[in-house]
């Protein structure tokens, strides 16, 4: 057993650069796992600064000084944040409360439909099964109402913390953008000087992660806006809330769209019934999903992410279980990082093949 482990170690960790890369990855993973919640404001500031850096660079490309570019981008970011807090969040909260209040009436209407099933399809469902289903739905409805109330109370109790974050995070974002070079130089002073492998992996991943994250935010905004205009055009209730859910659903590939279909179809059915308006809403929703998957995603991401669907779903499940919504959002970039590390990881057999090829080239006549 020991010789096997020794050969494995020599094969994968014989290069000092690999050890440095492994230690950096291990340290970063441990910080995220054990101190992620404690460092949440700092991590959020880093993410926002990372996203805004693209806008700063574009303004610098037009000849603006970095301080002026940072100031312009930060003002736009702050304006959008304040607008979201003052306008969007209250409207979304209001529609959530209204939907929770109307859930009992929807449940009663749904029970009427369920009671008709044993009459029309007695070979598939019985009255006892319908009663059990109705009891489960009623219990879930009560639990959902309690969760909404508890969430509201918890939000009120943590309002001071939220206000502190609203002040601290924007300030940290501004200084991270303004003093980026100073901060990066300070961090680099703690790292080994000879770390070209880690730099190479980061250079490869940085382009893909930056393009993916910014593209994903743009995709969320586009899908959200188009869905809202579509639902508003058909007069669908809770248009803002449902369109927000559709926009957020693009974070989870393949699964998000299927999950959000249920509330959209449910609200449309209880509002319009089995009518042409109900069909039009579902058709429009299907068209939005088709255009997002077949036009918008290829246009925004192109070859940025080239992962197998199984790897994407596995990454969503693993990182979502570790870090919740943030883990779901960054599942694909993290999977891309792991993929790049695996591809760039120098192994002894690869080095030997490369050395043999170089020796053959030297021996061959010119």
pLDDT one-digit tens code per residue, 178-222: 888 888 888 777 777 766 766 777 776 777 777 777 778 888 889
Measured CA to CA, the distance from residue 88 to residue 274 in angstroms comes to 31
pLDDT (tens digit, 9 = 90+) per residue, 58-87?
A: 898 888 898 999 999 999 988 988 888 788
Does residue 20 form part of some domain?
Answer: no
Q: Which residues contact 326 (CB under 8 A, 6 or more apart)?
A: none
| Residue tagged 């490369």 (tokens) | 354
Give the residue numbers spanning the domain of 309: 195-347
* Per-residue pLDDT at 16: 65
> Is the pLDDT assigned to residue 162 strictly greater than 50?
yes
Q: How far is CA 278 from CA 80, 271, 282, in A?
A: 34, 8, 6
Task: Provide DSSP, 40-87.
Answer: HHHHHHHHHHHHHHHHHHHHHHTT--HHHHHHHHHHHHHHHHHHIIII
The answer to whether the beta carbons of residues 240 and 228 sit under 8 Å apart is yes
The more confidently predicted of residues 236 and 361 is: 236
Measured CA to CA, the distance from residue 96 to residue 83 in angstroms comes to 19
pLDDT (tens digit, 9 = 90+) per residue, 269-282?
A: 888 887 888 899 99
Does residue 127 form part of some domain?
Answer: no
* Per-residue pLDDT at 226: 93
* Per-residue pLDDT at 361: 45
* Per-residue pLDDT at 142: 66
The more confidently predicted of residues 4 and 259 is: 259
pLDDT (tens digit, 9 = 90+) per residue, 285-332?
A: 999 988 887 788 777 765 555 666 677 777 777 877 776 666 776 777
* Per-residue pLDDT at 354: 45
* Per-residue pLDDT at 230: 93
* Per-residue pLDDT at 200: 73
**pLDDT-based confidence at 18, cuts 50/70/90?**
low
* Per-residue pLDDT at 351: 45
pTM passes above 0.85: no
Closest CA to 339 of 217, 212, 208, 250: 208
Mean pLDDT of 42-54: 81
* Per-residue pLDDT at 317: 78
Query: What is the longest distance spanned by two Cα atoms in the chain?
Result: 88
Closest CA to 326 of 336, 335, 316: 316
The answer to whether the beta carbons of residues 258 and 308 sit under 8 Å apart is no
The more confidently predicted of residues 164 and 366 is: 164
Q: 73: burial class by Cβ within 10 Å (0-12, 13-18, 19+)?
A: buried
> Is the pLDDT assigned to residue 353 strictly greater than 50?
no
| pLDDT > 90 fraction of the chain, expressed in percent and rounded | 9
Count of CA atoms in the C-beta half-sphere (13 A) of 331: 25
| Residue tagged 């690869």 (tokens) | 350
Mean pLDDT of 227-255: 87
The answer to whether the beta carbons of residues 29 and 35 sit under 8 Å apart is no
Sign, CA torsion 88/148/38/323: negative
The more confidently predicted of residues 206 and 153 is: 206
Nearest-5° angle of CA 33, CA 35, CA 39?
A: 125
Closest CA to 256 of 325, 191, 157: 325
* Per-residue pLDDT at 167: 81
The more confidently predicted of residues 237 and 256 is: 237
> What is the count of structural domains for the chain?
1
Within the chain, residue ranges assigned H as helices are 2-13, 16-35, 40-61, 66-83, 89-120, 127-157, 159-178, 180-188, 196-234, 239-249, 256-272, 276-291, 297-301, 309-329, 331-344, 348-363
Mean pLDDT of 342-346: 65
Q: Which residues contact 212 (CB under 8 A, 6 or more apart)?
A: 301, 304, 305, 332, 333, 336
Does residue 199 form part of some domain?
Answer: yes
| Residue tagged 């037009």 (tokens) | 62
């Amino acid at each position: 057993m020991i010789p096997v482990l020794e050969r494995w170690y020599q094969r994968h960790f014989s290069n000092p650069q690999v050890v440095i890369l492994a230690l950096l990855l291990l340290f970063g993973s441990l910080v995220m796992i054990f101190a992620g919640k404690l460092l949440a404001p700092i991590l959020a500031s880093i993410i926002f600064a990372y996203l805004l850096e693209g806008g700063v660079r574009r303004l610098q490309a037009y000849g603006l000084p970095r301080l002026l570019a940072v100031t312009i981008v930060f003002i736009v970011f702050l304006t959008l944040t304040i607008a979201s807090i003052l306008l969007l969040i209250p409207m979304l909260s209001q529609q959530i409360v209204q939907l929770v209040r109307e859930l009992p009436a929807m449940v009663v209407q749904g029970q009427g439909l369920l009671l008709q099933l044993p009459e029309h399809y007695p070979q598939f469902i019985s009255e006892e099964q319908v009663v059990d289903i109705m009891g489960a739905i009623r219990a879930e409805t009560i639990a959902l109402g309690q969760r909404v109330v508890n969430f509201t109370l918890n939000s009120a109790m943590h309002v001071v913390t939220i206000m502190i974050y609203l002040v601290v995070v924007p300030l940290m974002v501004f200084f991270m953008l303004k003093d980026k070079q100073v901060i990066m130089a300070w961090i680099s002073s703690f790292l080994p000087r000879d770390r070209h492998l880690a730099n190479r992996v980061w250079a490869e991943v940085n382009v893909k992660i930056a393009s993916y994250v910014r593209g994903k935010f743009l995709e969320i905004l586009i899908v959200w806006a188009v869905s809202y205009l579509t639902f508003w055009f058909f007069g669908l209730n809770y248009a803002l809330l449902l369109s927000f859910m559709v926009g957020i659903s693009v974070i989870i590939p393949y699964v998000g769209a299927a999950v959000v279909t249920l509330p959209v179809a449910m609200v449309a059915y209880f509002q319009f019934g089995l009518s042409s308006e109900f069909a039009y809403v579902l058709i429009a929703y299907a068209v939005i999903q088709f255009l997002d998957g077949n036009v918008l995603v290829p246009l925004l991401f192109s070859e940025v992410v080239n992962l197998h669907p199984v790897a994407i779903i596995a990454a969503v499940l693993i990182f979502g279980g570790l870090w919740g919504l943030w883990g779901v959002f960054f599942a694909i970039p993290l999977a891309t990082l792991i993929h790049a590390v695996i591809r760039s990881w120098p192994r002894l057999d690869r080095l030997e093949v490369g050395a043999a090829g170089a020796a053959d080239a030297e021996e061959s006549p010119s």
